[in-house]
Amino acid sequence: MEFSQLLESRRSIRKFKPGMKISEDQIRVMIDAAIQAPTWKNSQTGRYYVAMSEDKMNFIRNQSLPSFNAANCENAVAIIITTYETKRSGFERDGNPTNELGDKWGVYDLGLQNENLVLKARETGYDTLIMGIRDVDVLKAEFGIPDSQEIVSIISVGVREDDPEKPKRKAVDDITKFF
Ligand SMILES: Cc1cc2nc3c(=O)[nH]c(=O)nc-3n(C[C@H](O)[C@H](O)[C@H](O)COP(=O)(O)O)c2cc1C
């Protein structure tokens, strides 16, 4: 798919088709795209926990997501917890932050990685919903996520059942100043 078309056709999908499937290899392709993103000193601190069984997906839906987000990812073929290793991206070897943003650079890097992931999903025939409204406390024990990592977003993966309109975007001149 041509890049502009890929950008235009990616949407947050809240209604997935029932009965669809995905393989671990197809998920690996998406995560490999994430790995290609630039990161602070190539620190690559993003981590992925992929729920593919109904059991694990139901755990995330029922224990971690508010009901509207749980409903949004009904019929998902996978649900991915995205985390990053804290205190590495944006930090010096001695453990001090390089500048005022500190661990926000880890979140920045993960965002770059996740954008690659969702675009690759789209390119390979899948759709996604990034969810920031979630409760992460219950997830660490269930998925063996160490305390050195911070959970950021949960991304559902599925096949779109509807084709939602693009939410209105700002114009370039609304967000840019040229000098
Ligand atoms: C960091 C982040 C958190 C989000 N959290 C949620 C969420 O919890 N629930 C939801 O339905 N959509 C969520 N979204 C999706 C946004 O609402 C959506 O990206 C935005 O409205 C633009 O629509 P589009 O993705 O179709 O272009 C989130 C998106 C991002 C990037």
Instruction: Kindly report, residue by residue over 19-55, the tens digit of the pLDDT.
Output: 999 999 999 999 999 999 999 999 999 999 999 999 9
Summarize the confidence of residues 79-89 as an average pLDDT: 98
Q: What architecture is the 3-161 domain classified under in CATH? A: 3-Layer(aba) Sandwich (3.40)
Share of the chain above pLDDT 70, in %: 100
What pLDDT shows up at residue 1?
85
**Ligand 1 pocket, Cβ-based, cut-off 6 angstroms:** 11-12, 14, 69, 72, 129-133, 153, 166-167
CB atoms within 10 A of CB 110: 26
**Which of 131, 134, 156 to mutate for ligand 1's pocket (most ligand atoms within 8 Å of CB)?**
131
pLDDT above 90 (res 175) = yes
Global pTM value? 0.98
Q: What is the 3-state secondary structure (H, E, C) of 32-86?
A: HHHHCCCCHHHCCCEEEEEECCHHHHHHHHHHHCCHHHHHHCCCCCEEEEEEEEC
Domain ranges of the chain: 3-161
